[in-house]
């Protein structure tokens, strides 16, 4: 089991249901957000290109 799925915003492990992932709109690097960050609309920053968004 590989524990590499971590929230892009807070770095929490994405073990819980409700987390989401989607490609960066700029470079298509995968963005991953945990349930908490999604609920609170914490902004993310792409680790690959630095793009940030809600
Ligand atoms: Zn998070
Ligand atoms: Zn990107």
Residue 19 and residue 7 in contact, taking contact as beta carbons nearer than 8 Å = yes
Counting every residue, how long is the chain?
Answer: 54
Ligand 2 center to 48 CA (angstroms):
5
Distance 7 CA to ligand 2 centre (A): 15
Q: What is the pTM of this model?
A: 0.77
- Residues paired with residue 31 on neighbouring β-strands, in sequence order: 22
List Cα–Cα distances, 9 to 1, 3, 33, 40, 51, in angstroms.
23, 16, 7, 11, 12
pLDDT at 17: 80
15 alpha carbon, closest ligand: 1
Domain encompassing residue 34: 1-54
37 Cα: distance to centroid of ligand 1 (angstroms)? 4
pLDDT digits (tens, 9 = 90+) for 18-38: 899 999 999 999 999 999 999
Number of domains in the chain: 1
Residue 16 vs residue 31, higher pLDDT: 31
DSSP secondary structure string, 30-53? EEEE-HHHHHTT--EE-TTT--EE
Per-residue pLDDT, averaged over 8-23, amounts to 88
């Amino acid at each position: 089991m590989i524990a590499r799925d971590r929230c892009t915003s807070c770095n929490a492990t994405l073990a819980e249901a409700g987390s989401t992932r989607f490609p960066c709109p700029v470079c298509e690097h995968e963005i991953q957000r945990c349930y908490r960050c999604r609920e609170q609309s914490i902004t993310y920053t792409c680790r690959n290109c630095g793009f940030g968004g809600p």
